[in-house]
Structure 1
Amino acid sequence: MSATNFSGDPTLLIARLIADPQTLDQRLAAATAALDKAGLPLAHAAMLDFCGDVLQLELPGDDMAVLRKVIDEHFAPSDAIIARDVIRVPDVFVSDMDSTMIGQECIDELADFANLKAQVAEITERAMQGELDFEAALRERVGLLEGLEEGAIERCLTERIRPNPGARVLVETLKSKGCRTVLVTGGFHHFADVVAEQIGFERVAGNRLEVAGGKLTGQLVGAITDSSTKEAVLREEVGKLSEGAVSMAAGDGANDIPMLQASTFGIAYRAKPKAREASDGWIERGDLTALLKLLEIRETDWVTG
């Protein structure tokens, strides 16, 4: 089955998902009944030929909310993308860093070197849930780090910061398909520049910690990279491409929402509820390579070196 079969039909909803194969038949039967009851009958369901665990659903209509609700109720936990047209490899991929491309929140881990992790992590969590103003929360946390030796950053990078499983394979494989890759973070260039090199991103946007006399001053240098900046970076990259360019964004927190909503495919990676709700795709079951499967990229084409 190829996504190209559906090109040009704007009334067709497409969902691709990866769920537990042991219960897939029962789940699909229940989901089909739920869709019928909601007035959104399933036109076709089949496993993609190239991969034994990706189910594609096709439905005439435009009610994405109903389809999303049925998938959540009958296939969770799942990895999925829902689209109104074709699902294809994006021309540009823009991703958040902390808790998306890496498994940590850098500022929380750095704060541990100042014995302030619990205090900073609480602020981080509330900001990512959308309960606090992002810039105010960022400045408050950075202020708490005043006086910390700059060398703690290198130690933190070496000892604490690790890419999430599948991150490098995802990015390098997308690049091999002609996709532009950008890492944009509300975190810091001290971390993001290193992470981008490790994973393979071609551009980095983020905040800069001020350092003086070998110590953090508790201040930032330059403009804040926040949710509006993330969206602006996505739109800037898409604007460099031809009309009809496809974009994909990935994130986990409330400050990723504008970027997720502005992209063709907004992917929530093990995300906070508000970011999950704003997305039209999510990864909750597998690692980041699940996106390659959902984009119909054969494993033999993955870049693993």
Structure 2
Amino acid sequence: MLIARLIADHFSEGTGDLDTRLDAASAALEADGMPLASAMMLDVGLPVLEMRFAEGQALKVLAAIDRFFAPADALVGEGEIAVPHLFVSDMDSTMIGQECIDELADFADLKPQIAVITERAMRGEIDFEAALRERVGLLAGLEESAIDRCLAERISPSPGARILVATLAAHGCRSVLVTGGFHHFADRVGEQLGFDRVVGNRLGVEEGRLTGGLVGAISDGRTKRAVLEKERVRLGSGARVLAAGDGANDIPMLQAADYAIAYRAKPQAREAANGRVERGDLTGVLALLGIPRRDWVGA
């Protein structure tokens, strides 16, 4: 059984618009060998259309959603969609609305130069570790206190992030923030948002200034997947995993998750996920999981 859900709050009610789109999508998918078994609206406080198929391919269903329902936040899963036991998420441009290293670079008057490297790394055009070391090297000599100022003045949670993590926790889900960014930022972001564990890179600091180097092993795409797999084993057989990310180094963990959400993502990450949130905020993930709005924590 393949189940697809999409948030349909922007389609005109009572005009037949949604029904027309559903009929067109159903016809196209049936022609592709995936007849629609059933369709219904879920009562979760937002209009969520659920489509069920006896069998099929998630990517083809997502392509049909893009064709007939775009823009629409969506999730396609094998079997019944349920609240996950584990949530593993990227930080920059996912749980927060910024790229920390780009914002920190602004305090050293280097934001344009560093932002270009960040963008290319997120698109997978250059090696993540090489790009990370190059950007960190440019920050050599910056006062460590600039991090506190950056956190206070520049860094803010993505809309819906707190509600997402708190609601998942209330349903027994463990949350891990794993980032290619830095513990200086991630530890505080993780605490603010309610994550149970934080994994990231460590900036070298000497005499109150950044050294331009990193301390310890690099946290990258392979790290993200390894953390996900180890946490899943820790939770035991049958643990369902939700992952969220936006860039190329998130692809390994997105591919390993049961529910992979590409949040306002770069094309490569979007193509690796079986879900996406692009139109609404992160609370859309809760609606797609079938958690009623009345049960959202902090909404």
TM class by smaller structure? over 0.9
Partner of 1:237: 231
Shift of 1:242: 2.1
- Which amino acid in the other structure matches residue 297 of structure 1? I
**1:21 corresponding residue in structure 2:** 11
1:47-126 alignment runs, 5 A limit: 47-126=41-120
Task: Give the distance between the partners of 2:75 and 2:210, measured in 1 at CA.
Answer: 42
Unaligned runs of 5+ in 1: 1-11
* Residue correspondences, number: 294
Equivalent residue runs for 1:1-305 within 5 Å: 12-19=1-8, 20-22=10-12, 23-304=17-298
- 2:133 and 2:27 mapped to 1: Cα distance? 50
How far apart, CA to CA, are the structure 2 residues paired with 1:120 and 1:262?
30
What letter matches 2:31 in structure 1? K
Structure 1 residue 263: Cα displacement: 0.9
Q: Report runs of 4+ in structure 1 exceeding 6 Å deviation.
A: none
Query: How much does 1:182 deviate?
Result: 0.4
Using the TM superposition, name which of 147-156 and 44-53 deviates more. 44-53
Q: Cα distance, 1:66 vs. partner?
A: 1.8
SS of 1:21's equivalent in the other structure is coil
The CA deviation at 1:63 is 2.2
Shift of 1:52: 4.4
Counterparts of 1:186 and 1:209, CA distance in 2: 12
Most deviating of 52-61 and 200-209:
52-61
Q: Could you tell me whether the CA contact under 8 Å between 1:126 and 1:132 is conserved in 2? A: yes
CA displacement at 1:67 relative to structure 2: 1.1
For the 8 Å contact 2:94–2:263, the answer to whether it is kept is: yes
Q: 1 CA distance for matches of 2:31 and 2:98? A: 42
Q: CA deviation at 1:29?
A: 2.0
Measure the CA separation in 2 of the matches of 1:26 and 1:199. Answer: 40
Percent of residue pairs identical: 64
How far apart, CA to CA, are the structure 2 residues paired with 1:128 and 1:88?
A: 30
- Structure 2: which 5+ runs fail to align? none
* Structure 1 residue 25 displacement after superposition: 2.3
